[in-house]
Amino acid sequence: MALIRKINQGLLFLVILTFCLVLYNKFHNVSPHKEEAVEEPKPPTVHSAIHTIKQSKFTAPENVIPIIICAAEDRLAGTIATINSIYSNTNANIVFYIITLRDSLVHISKWIENTKLKGIRYKVMEFNAAVLQGKIRPDSARPELLQPLNFVRYFIPYLIRDHEKVIYLDDDVIIQGDIQDLYDTALNPGHAAAFSMDCDLTSTHEMVRSMGMQTTYMGHLDYRKATVRGLGINPMTCSFNVGVFVANVTEWKRQRVTKQLEKWLVTNVE
């Protein structure tokens, strides 16, 4: 009987203790078993070309100059050199949209934060290479041209949503003047972008030819195909430089330039 009495007393003590804990949690709104939920960042879907990974803390002024530049893992030094050349030669308000792949996200941020460039306005954004599925045909002759970041320029409206006019630069470009002059380039009505011709500068022309490349459309298009000849493009016309251009985002979207480029990519694969 004494043992049973002790057991009953123990059970009563546990009941009282549990009741006290319930009352305490109710009035203090505390749950000792509830862990803070950590939401994992969602990866970009196949329909989303970009999502922001990291950005400097700033509110971009209305007169900001947005610049898109890619940052490949094996060319980060080139990207930093391009950014530095812009930053060192202008007093304009610049915001850099740095587009890269997942393997370079941490590296590019460290490069910026550990140099004098830590004061720049920027966003680091991951390019979702899945948007290129079924649109790229392997090319053993020049495989470097098929790297996903080479196609970032096709997706301008996905990169920039808050700006009417943007500059796109390749990571092998060094700016020796004020980037404001390039941004002030006037785009005629109905023009989605302004490019320079590959034949504009004699030095560029000779350099390109010395690398075994062509500055005319003959070196870029396969005129043996009837569909190419049907475009009516003179094969001796100078091609344009896609590594430096100014784009009107609104006109680009109105003319559905990205959709047209994707169509040509698919056509080239078929």
pLDDT of residue 23: 45
pLDDT of residue 224: 84
Helix, strand, coil share of the chain (percent; to 5): 45, 20, 40
Q: Rounded CA gap, 153 and 159, in Å? A: 9
| Residue 14 is assigned to a structural domain of this protein | no
Q: Same domain, yes or no, for 166 and 214?
A: no
Its pTM stands at: 0.73
| Residue 250 is assigned to a structural domain of this protein | yes
β-bridge partners, 71: 100
Q: Same domain, yes or no, for 205 and 257?
A: no
Q: Would you give per-residue pLDDT tens digits along the chain (270 residues)?
A: 443 444 445 544 444 545 454 444 444 443 333 333 333 334 444 335 555 555 655 555 568 999 999 999 888 999 999 999 999 999 999 999 999 998 888 888 888 888 889 889 999 999 988 888 888 877 656 676 788 999 999 999 988 888 999 999 999 899 999 999 999 999 999 999 999 877 765 555 555 555 445 678 887 777 888 888 888 888 888 888 889 999 999 999 999 999 999 988 887 776
Q: Same domain, yes or no, for 65 and 139?
A: yes
Q: What is the DSSP string of 77-138?
A: HHHHHHHHHHHTT--S-EEEEEEE-GGGHHHHHHHHHTSGGGGSEEEEEEE-GGGGTTS---
Q: Same domain, yes or no, for 115 and 209?
A: no
Q: Same domain, yes or no, for 98 and 165?
A: yes
Quote the number of domains for the chain: 2
| Residue 37 is assigned to a structural domain of this protein | no
Q: Same domain, yes or no, for 188 and 171?
A: yes
Q: Same domain, yes or no, for 103 and 164?
A: yes
pLDDT of residue 200: 61
- The CATH number for 114's domain is 3.90.550.10
Q: Rounded CA gap, 248 and 5, in Å? A: 87
| Residue 44 is assigned to a structural domain of this protein | no
| Residue 75 is assigned to a structural domain of this protein | yes
Parent domain of 225: 199-238
pLDDT of residue 89: 95
Q: In the chain, how many H helices and how many E strands?
A: 9, 7
Q: Same domain, yes or no, for 79 and 178?
A: yes
Q: Same domain, yes or no, for 64 and 141?
A: yes
Q: Same domain, yes or no, for 87 and 169?
A: yes
| Residue 3 is assigned to a structural domain of this protein | no
Q: Same domain, yes or no, for 76 and 141?
A: yes
Q: Same domain, yes or no, for 188 and 228?
A: no
| Residue 265 is assigned to a structural domain of this protein | yes
Maximum alpha-carbon separation in the chain = 110
| Residue 220 is assigned to a structural domain of this protein | yes
Is the separation of the CB atoms in 47 and 77 below 8 Å?
no
pLDDT of residue 164: 92
